[in-house]
Amino acid sequence: MNDPLLEMKELSIVVKHTNQTIIQSLSFTIYSGDMVGIVGESGSGKSVTAQAILGSIPTSFNMGGSILFEGEYISFQKKNKFIGTEICYIPQDYSNGFSPFFKIGSQMNEQLATHTSLSKKQRKKRILDMLERVQLPAEKVYSSYHFELSGGQLQRVVIASAMILNPKLLICDEITTALDPKNADQIMQLLKDLQTQYNTAIIFISHQLHHVMNYCDQLAVMYGGEWMEYGLTTKIKKNPTHPYTQLLLNTIPTIKADAEHLQLIPGEPGEVNREGCPFATRCPYCEPVCLHSHVTLKGTPLHQVACHLVTTKEGEGTTSDSIKSPVYI
């Protein structure tokens, strides 16, 4: 097997002045060409995890654990070596990254001129080629200002800008949230195609589990700064085991379950139980042990769940509609 591209080991983040834990003991490994979805409600810690990978944790936080990119530690001091070239990030509010005074082509050109030794002609060719790859009318977009493009077109320009230096890792933070379902699906398919074409590893952050499940090979379901369920998407899709994962899936409108009959997740997204399972106070199946005893991931590397009510048994597999009685994964 190849060496890992990114290794996060026991990442913990605490707010200095309040001592509030935001991220607790997060570990995961990403290889070239992986597409990993990090999913959870607002405030679960997805963006802070991305900031840690980017070496951009605010000074008001204390960070424990480590993050290695191709075997080298990522830190605030070393981040310039990777960020913007080997690791690219697309934030939720990507449109702020554009200047209203320069055309798209000129802004992309600036980026290539800073990081490559390509000639002006080569830079233009590379930009037009990349704009075509993200299925845009290249010449027209090259000569447009960002405010002349639609949301979906602009999203493709952002992806083209992020991919133009051929990064090894692309982090997308809620980039489809503001798009309509059709555009969102097209963007996900585009990312999938780029992942295959360039062998780029992609971390896709979202609060829409159903959306991510259709495109990512691996999933990390996050709550209160911890993984609740982690593994191959195929395994989780077949057997969503953690109550939080099950509830996230039940919030999807389908023809059978229209908006009126959707099951809402009880409680508030920011409600975190730090003594035991972070989701315990919102969990419909909560038992005393869940409130007071901390829980870690268990299962196989292909499918792990952090829940007291789940027991693992080698070689066994089952699906569960509810978790009222212990289930095996």
Phi, psi for 313 (deg, rounded to 5): -145, 120
CA dist., res. 311 & res. 126, Å (int)? 53
| The one segment of 35-43, 65-73, 212-220, 234-242 that binds ligand ATP by CB under 6 A | 35-43
| The one segment of 37-45, 131-139, 149-157, 258-266 that binds ligand ATP by CB under 6 A | 37-45
**Quick one: 27 or 199, whose CB is closer to ligand ATP?**
27
Judge contact between 89 and 167, C-beta under 8 A. no
When asked if residue 42 is in the footprint of ligand ATP (CB under 6 A), the reply is yes
When asked if residue 97 is in the footprint of ligand ATP (CB under 6 A), the reply is no
Q: What is the largest CA-CA distance in the chain?
A: 67
When asked if residue 40 is in the footprint of ligand ATP (CB under 6 A), the reply is yes
| The one segment of 42-50, 72-80, 139-147, 154-162 that binds ligand ATP by CB under 6 A | 42-50
When asked if residue 43 is in the footprint of ligand ATP (CB under 6 A), the reply is yes
Tell me the chain's radius of gyration from C-alpha atoms: 21
Judge contact between 127 and 110, C-beta under 8 A. no
| The one segment of 46-54, 62-70, 185-193, 253-261 that binds ligand ATP by CB under 6 A | 46-54
Beta strands in the chain (DSSP E): 6-15, 21-30, 35-39, 61-69, 72-73, 87-90, 169-173, 201-206, 218-223, 226-232, 298-300, 303-305, 310-311, 327-328
**Which member of 12, 27, 29, 47 binds ligand ATP (CB under 6 A)?**
47
- 104-115 vs 151-163: helix crossing angle, rounded to 10: 10
State the minimum distance, in angstroms, from the CB of residue 40 to ligand ATP: 6
When asked if residue 242 is in the footprint of ligand ATP (CB under 6 A), the reply is no
When asked if residue 22 is in the footprint of ligand ATP (CB under 6 A), the reply is yes
Phi, psi for 173 (deg, rounded to 5): -105, 100
**Quick one: 278 or 299, whose CB is closer to ligand ATP?**
278
Distances (CA, A) of 277 to 67, 68, 85, 214: 24, 28, 38, 28
Binding-site size for ligand ATP (CB under 6 A) equals 14
State the minimum distance, in angstroms, from the CB of residue 212 to ligand ATP: 13
**Quick one: 43 or 243, whose CB is closer to ligand ATP?**
43
Binding footprint of ligand ATP on the chain (CB under 6 A): 15, 22, 40, 42-48, 58, 60, 207, 270
